[in-house]
Amino acid sequence: MKHILSIQSHVVFGYAGNKAATFPMQLLGADVWALNTVQFSNHTQYGKWKGEVLPKGLIGEIVQGILGIDRLKLCNAVLSGYMGSADQVQEIIDVVHEVKKANPEAIYLCDPVMGHPDKGCIVAEGVKEALCELAVPEADILAPNLVELRVISGQPVENFEQAITAVKTILAKGVKKVLVKHLSNVGKEKDTFEMLLGTTDGIWHITRPLYAFKLQPVGVGDLTSGIFLANLLNGKSDIEAFEHTANAVNEVMRLTSQSELYELQIIAARNEILNPTCHYKAVKVA
């Protein structure tokens, strides 16, 4: 069994952060150690919420507790997502160092959540800058959305070719894999949902249906990163992991669309996450 230390947000109601990623990773056979950067009543895109950010220093203290019982060596991967403060970025990087010291084979997947004010995704001041300065250089795998792809690469990304160039730029920084979770309006086809995977072996593109929602569900990126990481730890090749991730997330989105509910229907899609009905294939583009 593989063990994943997943450090990201938690919502009591709904699905985002660890709430969106933990169950799917468990379904795929991973033992998930969920460490919550914040505990909120609901995700921030409702426009109001209650809760608190984990106090400064507590992330490291909790991980030191795991080290103290000699179990940190079991950790195969660290997954980071939404962070409640800029200070937490450094804390998480310190944790990555501790994990890799205990298990040199462990990997770090950074989902660099930088916020999207237009959509109501709010992150604390300084988080974006800290992610670029501290987390990106340490990441084995990066999983940006389009906004984050532009920031991290420092490149204009206004079309498909520029998206590929941006992925290559990030790979040149030393990141081993770049999973672009959503190409949005720079994709090849405007009426589909498109993703890219870049590795040292090339860049692959995959397309799946784009579903209509009254309100766009939150937590899709968290779900995507978690499934991709679990697939890699399960021994799937990069392309197998990419394809299964796209297909599993597609099934969650399909069932969520059919439900006409705002929150992701992860529980209803549990069987489809394991064995997706659809079989969309990745195509090498660079």
Q: Are 159 and 186 in contact (CB under 8 A)?
A: yes
Instruction: Label residue 122 by pLDDT band (50, 70, 90).
Output: low
Residues making up the annotated binding site for ATP are: 111, 143, 148, 181
Binding site, by residue number, is 9, 44-45, 111, 143, 148, 181, 222
pLDDT (tens digit per residue) in 173-199:
999 999 999 999 999 988 999 999 999
Quick check: 127 pLDDT over 80? yes
- Mind listing the pLDDT tens digit for each residue in 266-281? 999 999 999 999 999 9
Cα–Cα distance for residue pair 10/16, rounded to 1 Å = 7
Q: Which residue has the higher pLDDT, 30 or 118?
A: 30
pTM of this prediction?
0.96
**What is the identity of the amino acid at 3?**
H
218-251 pLDDT tens trace: 999 999 999 999 999 999 999 999 999 999 999 9
> What per-residue confidence (pLDDT) applies to 139?
98
Known binding positions for substrate: 9, 44-45, 222
What CATH number does the domain containing 79 carry?
Answer: 3.40.1190.20
Q: How far is CA 243 from CA 103, 122, 134, 253, in A?
A: 28, 30, 30, 15
Q: In degrees rounded to 5, what are phi and psi of residue 101? A: -70, -40
Determine the Cα–Cα distance for residues 16 and 41; give it in Å rounded to an integer.
11
Query: Domain total for the chain?
Result: 1
Residues spanned by the domain of 184: 2-284
